[in-house]
A and B are shown apart, each in its own frame.
Chain A
Amino acid sequence: MSRESNNIAVLGQTLHQRVASSRVLMVGAGGIGCELLKNLVLSGFKNIEVVDLDTIDLSNLNRQFLFQKQHIKKSKAHVAKESALKFNPAANITSHHANIKDKEFSVEWFKGFDLVLNALDNLDARRHVNMMCLAADVPLIESGTTGYLGQAYVIKKDVTECFDCTPKVTPTTYPVCTIRSTPSAPIHCIVWAKSYLFNQLFGNSEEEEEEAYQKETSDENAQEIEALARETEELRKIKEAMGSDEYGKAVFDKIFTGDIQRLLSMEDMWKNRTPPTPLYYDELAATMQAQMTSDVNGLKDQHTWNVRECFDMFVDSLTRLSTRLLDAKKDNPTNILVFDKDDNDAMDFVTAASNLRSTIFKIERKSRFDVKSMAGNIIPAIATTNAVIAGIVVMQAYKILNGQLSQTKRTYLKQVTRRPGLLVLEANSEPQADCAVCRTRNIGLKIDIHHTTLQSLLNNVVTASTETGGLGMSEEVTILEGDRLLYDIEFDDNAEKTLDALALEDGKILNIKDDEVDDDTGVNLVLQHATSVTLKNGASFELSGPTRPAIMEPESLGKRKREEGDEMANHAKRAALGNGSVPAASTSQADNGVIDLDDDETAIDEDGRTVKVWVLEDD
């Protein structure tokens, strides 16, 4: 009898041995990561590497159980390793307090693993690991949770959909006029306070408008947009008085009195809307000093401030932030303040300013707690959901190591409903034929990055004919590294720079598309530095890897075909779970806990919601 007796009895000797000798990479040691690392060391995984760039925060401790109070501010990766080793001292864990996008984590390094497990909380890193696993041809288990909901699924090159096969939900944007002129919900006022006002007063006001709102330039609102630009300009002038005694009043008079009076003068705007009521500094200052009323729970963040409390807080936090900005500018005149939900002064300011604006537009005021959720896009994460999903990830890992990758199912954790399924299974989908990420050829390129310019790469590798060992593409190509444009026919600024001067080092991936070919997904060149001495026959470069996309058997996976109409809903649902950053105001399929599957009948549940009655797969 040993600590492994149960694992051997359940898995059998063969699979148990495969688990023990496998090498796995876990990316992220946060909510899912803590649970997953515990499961891995207990389940008999012996060779584990953990990467996380984050440090431990107090608000992690309610779910990231490998961390305790004495660990706050320490590296998540290192502390997770130390805690997990106590569960099984025989495990061999290597921890990296680093960004998974660092160059040390090259494609070659990824190839050293049998399995990669994502336990991430952001879209960017998920995309990166997805791409690296495709390039290294290593199976990846992707997972995510939001509140009570979660999911886990397998990504394997040429076999399943990759992370980027389906579009992801982008943050909600609001029309500029809704934010600047006609707010109708608390979120509009919060976006105004955080993205417009905060940036204008403390940020880089020269910079163009925030991405948080959409520019609509129909004829109707062109005039209004012009007026708004004037308002912004006027605010800039007032800013020159920052630090003076009159500053608070000047800002208040401008944004809560003058600008509102101007809006009111546009009578057409208020024909079908409730017109705003300006606030007056002197009137508010003359009202009775607010008594800090404590609410039932006594927690100050839960309490919704009255107008006078908002007024006091606005003036006070404006002063605090102004002082900080002026101090920072003494060190360097280009210094600015950036909004951060964990910055108390910034949260005080955004709460007060948004609530004053809500009052003007007769919108419900919100507590500081609620404003923080919305302004900070906080996705509430809990221990239980993470634990369930981390368990499912290991069950998927067993299947993969047992040679049953194609039998793995995309698994969702739902909320309890009247339906039988709490864990819902869905067959893996095939790769999307036009996916620019996984349907692109990955070709290894060994080349001397110190002595090769982008132009010589173009001449010797990209446009050189296939007979001479090149890629045989036309002169009209676009070269990207991630989202960064390096070269196209109208942009050759980088042509004479060497690859290392462009930070194109080991493991970096260049996507090259031929603009002469319609819908070309192009090729990915995976860079590896090599001097000509080490290359065969003294060649200047060496290409390796498939020269054509792998051909997929059309019937290899997924018996079921989706309805066109369901496609978007499914995308939205997955994206909402997958990217871990659902915008505050969006409502996706996942929000109400109803996850619908295809092929099933539609029914109305007891709450009058339309739900899909689901059935388990027949196999």
Chain B
Amino acid sequence: MNETCVLLTVCGKMYIMETVTAVSYMVHTATSTAFCKRYYITHMGMATKENKTITEDEAALYDRQIRLWGVEAQQRIRNANILVAGIKGLGNEICKNLVLAGIGSLTILDPEPVIIQDLGAQFFLTEADIGKNRAEAAAIQVQALNPRVAVRTDKEDIEQKPDAYFEQFDIVCVTYASLPTMIRLDALCRARKIPFYAADTFGMFGYIFCDLHSHQYIQVRKEEATTKNATPREISEPRVEEYCTLVQSLDRDWSDITKGQLKKRVSKAFPMTLVRYRFQELHDRLPTEADERELGTLRNDYLPQLGFKDLTFLDDSMIEILAQTANTEISPVCAIVGGILAQEIIKVLSGKELPIQNWFFYDGIAGSGLIHHIEKGKSIILQ
């Protein structure tokens, strides 16, 4: 808090007033550290920018979305600094949606060069970009979508980044990362109270994981209308949502899940994701068509360890599909998962409404999109 006060004092009286508000909020609310951190970051952002409020031009540009989430939420979106690490098809969608929404700054990190297959789902790229750095090539088109957003690029490998690097961001979002990278990022983001997202797609499937630590938000609900003509009053209630870590969510024992629950509430994309990561962990690469048999063996060994008794849940035809598509991306699946993920990030910035808790799986064969809520310390997670 010392740092906050010093900075804000420099910036003038108005900010000192706000610091006092933030401090008293912290004193009075025991579980509000995450909220205060975000409050602090938002105001830091404002303090360093000349323009504190949304201009009339911005209000005209963002008119329709402001009608949905309000000016204050737009103000928070405008001041957010977001990292998207890994920009492939899914990253294209996430960056497009966030930049259109008018975030403050976007940092795109990707060390890899563009290859021809990338053009299949990555609309920010053209054939002329083949061989160039993927982040730099995409950033030009990302910037063209909205000149108001500060778009930055970073060509370094995320594995090489020191922990302190992530402190400049209000939200960290990583795509197509390996599981150990995701675990490291989740832990360091948690230590710094930075909301963390990890996501990927493979073929017809995709997932989102998020760790929002202790997330404070406002739930708006409509009161029941009493008389015929009365307009129902809107009631805003503060809520707190507690999240568990990525590791804790993966530790869950699934032996309590009944056959019916497995069929109706658990997405096939979930065990496919797990088997895919297991393979990557063992071989340091993603599986290909030639690895079908080994994927089958992995399923037989690994899923029972997690407590899945019924292996027909992920039958051989699904293993075949996984082998063929584990390292592919198609545009519609990227659009669906990237749309939902960007909306979640906007929601978390706005501090309104319940976010996804804490896994989402898309299965393009069934057409289903299911939330798996895994709670720390609870064996039953699917209500």
Contacts and interface: CB of A to CB of B under 8 A. Distances in A.
A390 B54 contact: no
A58 B60 contact: yes
Given A422-B340, A592-B222, A415 B353 contact: yes
B206 to A, nearest CB: 10
B67 A378 contact: yes
A384 B371 CA distance: 18
B346 interface: yes
A1 interface: yes
A86 B129 CA distance: 12
A301 interface: yes
Nearest to B203: A10
Interface in A399-447: 409, 411, 413, 415-423, 425
A356 interface: no
A178 interface: yes
Interface string B178-197: 00000000000000000000
Contacts of A615: 264
Contact of B335 (A87, A388, A417, A618): A388
A246 interface: no
Contacts of A588: none
B56 interface: yes
Contact of A63 (B64, B121, B329, B362): B64
B331 A42 contact: yes
Nearest to B65: A382
Given A62-B61, A382-B64, A387-B338, A420 B265 contact: yes
Contacts of A35: 335
Nearest to A409: B367
Given A39-B335, A387-B97, A390-B335, A302 B121 contact: no
A486 interface: no
Contact of B336 (A61, A388, A616): A388
A426 to B, nearest CB: 11
B53 A297 contact: yes
A298 interface: yes
B171 interface: no
B336 A5 contact: no
A425 B335 contact: no
Interface string A1-24: 111111101110000000000000
Contacts of B231: 185-187, 585
Contacts of A538: none
B96 A383 contact: yes
B367 A411 contact: yes
Contacts of B72: 297
Contact of A392 (B64, B332, B338, B353): B332
A7 B330 contact: yes
Contacts of A184: 229-230
A147 interface: yes
A341 to B, nearest CB: 11
A394 B332 CA distance: 6
Contact of B117 (A1, A392, A420): A1
B71 A302 contact: yes
Contacts of A409: 367
A206 to B, nearest CB: 31
Contacts of A143: none
A409 B369 CA distance: 13
A6 B120 contact: yes
A38 B75 CA distance: 29
B150 interface: no
Contact of A384 (B342, B368, B370, B373): B342
A416 B356 contact: yes
Given A6-B117, A422-B370, A587-B232, A62 B336 contact: no
Contacts of A299: 53-54, 56, 59, 71
B21 to A, nearest CB: 13
A384 B115 CA distance: 27
B332 A425 contact: no
A380 interface: yes
B372 to A, nearest CB: 7
Contacts of B344: 416
B139 interface: no
Interface in B309-334: 324-325, 328-334
A178 B229 contact: yes
A1 B281 CA distance: 26
Contacts of A5: 116-117, 120, 328
B65 A62 contact: yes
A274 B186 CA distance: 58
A7 B67 CA distance: 38
Contacts of A226: none
B112 to A, nearest CB: 15
B330 A148 contact: no
Given A299-B56, A416-B355, A607-B221, A422 B371 contact: yes
A611 to B, nearest CB: 12
Q: How many A residues are at the interface, by size bracket?
A: 35 or more
A302 B265 CA distance: 44
A393 B332 CA distance: 8
A297 B76 CA distance: 12
A80 to B, nearest CB: 13
B360 to A, nearest CB: 6
B143 to A, nearest CB: 11
A466 interface: no
B360 A378 contact: no
A106 B321 CA distance: 42
B60 A10 contact: no
B100 A383 contact: yes
Interface in B348-383: 353-357, 360, 362, 364, 366-373, 382-383
B45 interface: no
Contacts of A382: 64-65, 68, 101, 343
Interface in A281-300: 297-300
Given A65-B100, A297-B75, A381 B221 contact: no
B102 interface: yes
Nearest to B324: A9
Contacts of B64: 59, 62-63, 378, 380-382
Q: Of B335, B354, B357, which is in contact with the most chain A CB atoms at under 10 Å from its CB?
A: B335
A322 interface: no
B367 A423 contact: yes
Interface in A30-70: 35, 38-39, 42-43, 58-59, 61-63, 65, 68
Given A62-B100, A416-B353, A425 B339 contact: no
Contact of A61 (B61, B203, B332): B61
Contacts of A422: 340, 356, 360, 369-371
Interface string A600-619: 00000001110000011010
A373 interface: yes
Contacts of A178: 229
Interface string B108-147: 0000000111011101001000000000000000001100
A241 interface: no
B32 interface: no
B332 A391 contact: yes
A384 B372 contact: no
A416 B75 contact: no
Q: Of B71, B72, B336, which is in contact with the most chain A CB atoms at under 10 Å from its CB?
A: B336
A392 B340 CA distance: 12
A393 to B, nearest CB: 8
Nearest to B333: A391
17 contacts: A6-B120, A9-B203, A38-B335, A62-B64, A148-B343, A297-B54, A369-B67, A373-B67, A382-B64, A382-B101, A384-B342, A388-B339, A391-B333, A391-B334, A592-B221, A592-B222, A607-B219
Interface of A: 1-7, 9-11, 35, 38-39, 42-43, 58-59, 61-63, 65, 68, 86-88, 147-148, 178, 184-187, 297-302, 369, 373, 378, 380-388, 390-395, 398, 409, 411, 413, 415-423, 425, 585, 587, 591-592, 607-609, 615-616, 618
Please give me the 4 A-B residue pairs with the lowest Cβ-Cβ distance, nearest first: A423-B369, A391-B335, A387-B339, A388-B339
